Amino acid sequence: MIRKDVVVIGAGAAGLQCGIESAKAGRNTIVLEHNRMIGTKILISGGGRCNFTNINAGPSNYTSSNPHFHKSALSRYTPNDFIDLVEQYKIDYYEKTLGQLFCKNSSREIVALLQSEADKYGLEIQTSTKVGEIKKADDGRYFVLTNQGDYSCESLVIATGGLSFPSRGATDFSYRVAKQFGLKLNPPRPGLVPLVLDFNKNLDYKSLRGISFYAEVYTDNISFKEAVLFTHKGMSGPAILQISNYLNGSKEFHIRLEPDLDLPAFFTKERRSGVLVKNLLSEHLSSRFATEWATYHGFDCSPKQLDDPQFERLLGLLDKWTIAITGDEGYSKAEITLGGVHPDELSSKTMETRKHKGLYIIGEAVDVNGWLGGYNFAWAWASGWAAGQFV
């Protein structure tokens, strides 16, 4: 049995951050990773350029079964704290849009930064390590049994994330540990995920695959103004991924076409126009999309050919086009996993479980779910840092 002060399971963003902070504090710490390399999700994030944080990250950019839980960690380790670290390593970055920060070159620079920090503070990292069993001794220590040796520790940190990207080694390990120790779980489900449309209740989206447009996508409670993309199964794009976190089993959402242009006002001015509706729409949207949309909704004519109820229906659909869905594309296409360990099981200050001293759970394994655009990395850095101060 190899004796350690701290064992962290999972060498992703949260686990590495926690391990580095623990080692920095002088704790004998090891991070165990079942993949052959560290930071596998970091490497593929942001199209290979890692959207490593968002300068606007705050509590309102997250969903959680406890909307106050994440405030503590996010206030104590902010996006600027991680940006300072990035700048120390002279990594070039840029703001893409809406506060999203990306590496100019490669995600590998963020992984290299974390490895360098680990080396600086003597953090041990062991890859290709499969955890078979976790036990808790009567004296409160934890035993971690693996294919590369068995460890005992005072503090055990679970940082293995959720179920998204199974091709990158994602598993339900964190949920199994939570169940083993009697912790309440909110059912996991795919988040920030493309949606599958109900073909019988929508226009022929398959013929529009690859076409994108700007829109406000909304429910009764929240809205996002970003791009929407047609796929071979339905819709994707930033606005769709964002709204997917808020559907909560609902089978529909709404779209306001080109909201910044106020299309209803535009068509009101064109009330007596003899130009076809699809051609007027084509002034602001893809011609293929405009034609499909107008034809599907029965507007294969000009505005002046519509009677008043039909015209009001046109204005209503431009402002509130209801989209029916059958589901989503699952964990293989999901950016994150919603749900996880209920925040009320943890201390918001330390990330330690309330029922088991020395057991910590951080990152995506916790039911704290960020928006698209660097917010989930911000939570990973913050929750990892918070636990690292106390393990």
The model's pLDDT over 4-14, given as tens digits with 9 standing for 90+, comes to 999 999 999 99
130 and 38 inside one domain: yes
CATH, residue 352: 3.50.50.60
Alpha-carbon distance 66 to 73, whole Å?
14
Alpha-carbon distance 346 to 355, whole Å?
8
- Please give the radius of gyration of the chain, using alpha carbons only, rounded to the nearest integer: 24
pLDDT for the residue numbered 99: 97
| CB-CB contact of 44 with 107 (8 Å) | yes
**Of residues 315, 291, 334, the one with CA closest to residue 204:** 291
Mean pLDDT of 379-389: 98
93 and 123 inside one domain: yes
pLDDT for the residue numbered 200: 81
324 and 349 inside one domain: no
Q: The domain containing residue 254 runs over which residues?
A: 195-328
Domain boundary among 300, 328, 356: 328
pLDDT for the residue numbered 329: 97
CA 327 to chain centre: 18
Tell me the Ramachandran region of residue 234: left when phi exceeds 0, alpha when psi lies from -120 to 50, beta otherwise: left
Helices (H), 184-286: 238-244, 263-269, 277-281
Mean pLDDT of 166-184: 96
Please state the domain count of the chain: 2
Q: Percent of the chain, pLDDT > 70?
A: 100
287 and 339 inside one domain: no
Domain boundary among 328, 361, 380: 328
The model's pLDDT over 36-84, given as tens digits with 9 standing for 90+, comes to 999 999 999 999 999 999 999 999 999 999 999 999 999 999 999 999 9
54 and 185 inside one domain: yes
The model's pLDDT over 87-133, given as tens digits with 9 standing for 90+, comes to 999 999 999 999 999 999 999 999 999 999 999 999 999 999 999 99
CATH, residue 260: 2.40.30.10
42 and 116 inside one domain: yes
271 and 134 inside one domain: no
Structure tokens at 173: 């390990």
88 and 176 inside one domain: yes
Mean pLDDT of 272-290: 96
180 and 214 inside one domain: no
322 and 307 inside one domain: yes
Q: How far is CA 277 from CA 4, 271, 282, 288, in A?
A: 70, 10, 9, 13
DSSP 80-96: HHHHHHHHHTT--EEE-
265 and 282 inside one domain: yes
**Of residues 195, 206, 213, 217, the one with CA closest to residue 296:** 206
pLDDT for the residue numbered 10: 98
Domain boundary among 309, 328, 347: 328
The model's pLDDT over 193-230, given as tens digits with 9 standing for 90+, comes to 999 999 888 888 888 999 999 999 999 999 999 999 99
31 and 118 inside one domain: yes
Structure tokens at 269: 């001015």
SS3 state of residue 112 = helix
Any idea which residue has 């300072």 for tokens?
Answer: 84
pTM: 0.95
- DSSP 8-state secondary structure symbol assigned to residue 371: P
Mean pLDDT of 229-252: 95
